[in-house]
Amino acid sequence: MHDLLPDDETLFEHVVSTATRVARSFDYHLVRTPIVEDARVFLRTAGDDSDIVSKEMYVFEDRGGDRLALRPEGTAGVARAYLEHGMASRPQPVRLFYWGPFFRYDRPQAGRYRQLHQFGVECIGDPSPEADVEVIELQREIYRALGLTDLVLRVNSIGTPATRRAYEEALREHFRPHLATLSADSRRRFETNVLRILDSKEDAAHEALRTAPSILEHLSVEDMAHWDRVCALLDELDIAYEVDARIVRGLDYYTHTVWEFEPRAAGGQSTVGAGGRYDGLIEAIGGPPTPGVGWATGIERLMLNLTAAELAPVAPPLDAVTVPLGADGAAACARVAASLRAAGFAVRNGTPGRSMRAALRAADASGARFAVIIGDREAAAGTVQLKPLVGGGEQVEMPVLEVPTRLRDAQA
Ligand code: ATP
Ligand code: MG
């Protein structure tokens, strides 16, 4: 697990506020679910053979003997909240977004942490291909608003569980002769959930994965109608995509449309965001059959990509730093700083008792736009020496009351 330090904050906040603004513009509403859920919320939905359940979930017993989990993903908790709060009786679909920390006992490396942050959206109660494309469009708009325009969208359909059973037979036939050269993980998946072999990271480069039959050839007529409509809508909205029959996603609850956004030059930790339709999920946690579709994006992965592309914003500068000099300067500086903050400026109060040289050096290093210097003489006269610290300009003495106007003028 890692710390997010003040230097990371501007970028983190930029990602969350940009994503929030775009989500709101699509009429999505923030839902905050607890970080801890009954473990069954995830155990019943993600699938025994998913990475999350099989090796990544933090599970513990609380003092009352209940089995709880640190949430590894967002969808199941949001679906639980949808059920618990009777959102099915609201006009459908219900459009929700969330962001916050998630926990996975993953192998730590760049872009892969045990506490990660995700931003995600869920559109619950609408079975139509239009809903799939709405959330994909929303996701693409967020990446666009951040300036990430070179992500590749890879889309696939995995049909319904019934469709998949026929496909799984074909897949087993295909992989059987290769079992000896596949990883132990894939050999296990061959028995428990053969589809998952396609999602294997270890065997990603294995010949047998590239030559595997496509699930698209096994879709039923209804599956195909949904899939064709998704593709047609993406075309209509000018959303570029590639069809990739190997995208099956790591969780059992997905049906029909699944997708991932990845940078063009892809590596192992590269998927920036991924989503899918999950028509079986709400039933799996005890609700009535309810369709849904959504995605999640890794905030740290976005931060890495934005930094690499030099798209990270710089922190807004501090407006002013006070420089208290002499015996009376400190009290006057504290008063001026308080009145400037009340006027909406960000002000650091300088440390008293330093030499003029040391105090000005600290002021320079603060990154502030202005130094507000007050010695005994200024304190007595009700004035300050206002010294621009960036872009040159003369130091001028002025009444305290004029400082806010001067700072504001300089901002414009
Ligand atoms: P991966 O294939 O990289 O393990 P995943 O399929 O487990 O990803 P999802 O469950 O779809 O990932 O989560 C959505 C997004 O969350 C991912 O696309 C990625 O950006 C991010 N993410 C997933 N796991 C981690 C992690 N351990 N650390 C940081 N970000 C992560
Ligand atoms: Mg994973």
pLDDT tens readout for residues 282-298: 999 999 999 999 999 99
Residue 45 pLDDT grade (very low, low, confident, very high; cuts 50, 70, 90): confident
Q: Whose CA is nearest to atom 21 of ligand 1?
A: 298
CATH number belonging to domain 320-407: 3.40.50.800
6-160+220-308 and 320-407 in the same fold: no
Q: CA-to-CA distance for 249 and 127, rounded, in angstroms?
A: 19
Amino acid identity for residue 190 in this structure = F
Give the model confidence (pLDDT) of 50-82 as tens digits.
888 888 999 999 999 999 999 999 999 999 999
Architecture (CATH level 2) of domain 6-160+220-308? 2-Layer Sandwich (3.30)
Of 271, 272, 304, which is best to mutate to test ligand 1, by the most ligand atoms within 8 angstroms of its C-beta?
271
pLDDT reading at 411 higher than 80: no
pLDDT at 156: 96
Residue 250 pLDDT grade (very low, low, confident, very high; cuts 50, 70, 90): low
Q: CA-to-CA distance for 82 and 96, rounded, in angstroms?
A: 10
Q: Whose CA is nearest to atom 6 of ligand 1?
A: 250
The tokens describing 182, both together, are: 């596949």
Lowest mean pLDDT among 184-198, 203-217, 259-273: 259-273
N-to-C CA span, the chain: 42
Q: Which atom of ligand 1 is nearest to the CA of 297?
A: 15
Q: CA-to-CA distance for 98 and 206, rounded, in angstroms?
A: 36
Q: Which atom of ligand 1 is nearest to the CA of 118?
A: 16
Distance 249 CA to ligand 1 centre (A): 11
pLDDT at 267: 54
Q: Whose CA is nearest to atom 26 of ligand 1?
A: 112
β-strand 292-298 against 347-348: which pairing, if any? unpaired
Give the model confidence (pLDDT) of 75-100 as tens digits.
999 999 999 999 999 999 999 999 99
The 10 Å Cβ neighbour count of residue 356 is 12
Helices within 237-290 (DSSP H only): 281-284
Residue 312: helix, strand or coil by DSSP?
A: coil
pLDDT at 266: 62
Q: Render 325-366 in DSSP notation, one character per residue.
A: -TTTHHHHHHHHHHHHHHTT--EEPPPSS--HHHHHHHHHHT
β-strand 29-30 against 383-388: which pairing, if any? unpaired
Q: CA-to-CA distance for 254 and 160, rounded, in angstroms?
A: 8
Amino acid identity for residue 321 in this structure = V
pLDDT at 110: 84
Distance 275 CA to ligand 1 centre (A): 11
Provide φ and ψ at 378, rounded to 5°: -65, -40
The tokens describing 36, both together, are: 């801890």
**Ligand 1 binding pocket includes 106 (Cβ within 6 Å):** yes
Residue 399 pLDDT grade (very low, low, confident, very high; cuts 50, 70, 90): very high
Beta bridge partners of 296: 120, 274
Distance 161 CA to ligand 1 centre (A): 24
The tokens describing 143, both together, are: 């990446």
Across all residues in the chain, what is the average pLDDT?
Answer: 94
Give the model confidence (pLDDT) of 360-371 as tens digits.
999 999 999 999
pLDDT at 95: 98
Mean pLDDT of 149-154: 94
pLDDT at 403: 97
Listed by start position, the domains of the chain span 6-160+220-308, 320-407
pLDDT reading at 268 higher than 70: no
Residue 111 pLDDT grade (very low, low, confident, very high; cuts 50, 70, 90): confident
Beta bridge partners of 276: 258, 294
Residue 121 pLDDT grade (very low, low, confident, very high; cuts 50, 70, 90): very high
The tokens describing 354, both together, are: 């330093």
Strand (E) or helix (H) holding 95: strand 94-103
Residue 269 pLDDT grade (very low, low, confident, very high; cuts 50, 70, 90): low
Q: Which atom of ligand 1 is nearest to the CA of 111?
A: 29
Give the whole-number percent of the chain exceeding pLDDT 70.
99
**Ligand 1 binding pocket includes 255 (Cβ within 6 Å):** no
Give the model confidence (pLDDT) of 319-351 as tens digits.
999 999 999 999 999 999 999 999 999 999 999
**Ligand 1 binding pocket includes 53 (Cβ within 6 Å):** no
Q: Whose CA is nearest to atom 11 of ligand 1?
A: 274
Residue with tokens 């942490």: 113
**Ligand 1 binding pocket includes 272 (Cβ within 6 Å):** yes
Q: Which atom of ligand 1 is nearest to the CA of 250?
A: 6
pLDDT at 253: 80
Q: In what order do the strands lie in the sheet with 29-30?
A: 29-30, 94-103, 115-124, 292-298, 273-277, 255-263, 151-157, 242-243
Q: CA-to-CA distance for 396 and 381, rounded, in angstroms?
A: 14
**Ligand 1 binding pocket includes 118 (Cβ within 6 Å):** yes
pLDDT reading at 182 higher than 60: yes
